[in-house]
């Protein structure tokens, strides 16, 4: 009763009806820049986490994978160096088994170098296993 008729005569406007078209070039550009900014931010945080928290794999420990050979579709034999010992491990999905423990000096140090040829592992393994069988 106390309101004027001018308030009733105006057409009600919906919220956002005077806004810009959501698929306009300006809005799409703003969304794209925002998306790239968020992706860049994620990459920077991942890089910083890897760089400063030590999530990267490092070879500073006393364990080294010297060589490996595939035995089947999902099985491998892996030769690792743990301190002065060499261990031959059988690796399968969900399972790791020690197949043989070599004493210090039983495996040549030329195999311990990273540039060893993959076939050298197979040859060395055959020689060592033949020695064990002959004794």
Let me know: does 107 contact 54? Beta carbons within 8 Å: no
pLDDT band at 124 (very low <50, low <70, confident <90, very high): confident
Q: Give me the mean pLDDT over the 18-39 stretch.
A: 85
pLDDT (average), residues 84-100:
90
Would you place residue 91 in the very low, low, confident or very high pLDDT band (cuts 50, 70, 90)?
Answer: very high
- Is the predicted pLDDT of residue 49 greater than 50, yes or no? yes
The pLDDT score that the predictor gives to residue 115 is: 47
Extract the tokens encoding 116. 């060893």
CA dihedral 64, 69, 75, 80 (to 10 degrees): -20
Question: How many CA atoms lie less than 13 Å away from 106 in the CB half-sphere?
Answer: 20
Write down how long the chain is. Answer: 135
Q: Enter the DSSP assignment of 11.
A: P
Edge-to-edge strand ranges of the sheet holding 76-82: 63-70, 76-82, 85-92, 95-102
Which residues on adjacent β-strands are paired with residue 89?
78, 98
The pLDDT value recorded for residue 93 is: 92
How many angstroms separate the CA atoms of 132 and 128, rounded? 6
The predicted pLDDT at position 97 comes to 93
Mean pLDDT in residue range 59-78: 84
Rounded alpha-carbon distances, angstroms, from residue 69 to 12, 34, 130: 77, 48, 18
Amino acid 4: pLDDT: 58
Q: Can you tell me the mean pLDDT for 128-134? A: 71
Statement: the pTM of the whole predicted model exceeds 0.85? no
Pair 87, 62: CB distance under 8 Å: no
């Amino acid at each position: 009763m106390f309101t004027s008729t001018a308030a009733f005569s105006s057409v009600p406007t919906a919220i956002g009806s005077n806004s810009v078209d959501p698929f306009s070039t300006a809005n799409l550009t703003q969304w794209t820049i925002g998306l790239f900014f968020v992706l860049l931010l994620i990459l920077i945080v991942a890089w910083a986490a890897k760089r400063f928290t030590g999530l990267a794999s490092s070879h500073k420990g006393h364990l080294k994978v010297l060589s490996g050979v595939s035995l089947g579709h999902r099985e491998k034999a892996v030769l690792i160096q743990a301190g002065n010992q060499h261990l031959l491990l059988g690796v399968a999905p969900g399972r790791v088994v020690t197949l043989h423990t070599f004493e210090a000096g039983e495996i040549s140090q030329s195999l311990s170098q990273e540039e060893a040829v993959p076939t050298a592992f197979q040859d060395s393994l055959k020689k060592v296993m033949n020695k064990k069988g002959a004794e």
